[in-house]
Amino acid sequence: MRKTLLLILSLLFVFSISLAELDENDPNTWDFGKIRASEGIVKHVFLLKNDSSVNLNINGTHASCGCTVSEIDKKIILPKETANLEVKFNPQGYSGQVTQYVYVDTDNKTAPIRKFVIKAEIVKDKI
């Protein structure tokens, strides 16, 4: 019984480390780390690649919150090419851990929406 419990706990530990590594290595996720709201807007540029053999049409982008805006530099991405998705986040009014999402609407039949994630920990200004 004790060995079984130890094995289960070990597997859970390894699995949780694997999930953390996946998140850190996900090209569709960006963590700004610790930032101060007083420093203003932060931005990151994601790459959106068209891995298919046909053109990928971009219908639009939208964010989960008004504090986050996005802009893509191409409306049509040719096969095997990429587009830049610039995401800007305004941390004003936030504190602690924040996660926001940006969605890119495409004409891809199997995965029409691509999700991008930004994260930050908003820390208080020193007085």
Going from N- to C-terminal start, the domains of the chain cover 29-123
Burial of 46 (0-12, 13-18, 19+ CB in 10 A): buried
pLDDT-derived band at 40 (thresholds 50, 70, 90) equals: very high
Q: Has residue 21 got a pLDDT over 50?
A: no
Tell me the fold of 29-123.
Immunoglobulin-like (2.60.40)
Predicted TM-score (pTM) of the model is: 0.79
> What mean pLDDT, rounded, does the chain reach?
87
Q: Are strands 29-36 and 113-123 parallel, antiparallel or unpaired?
A: parallel
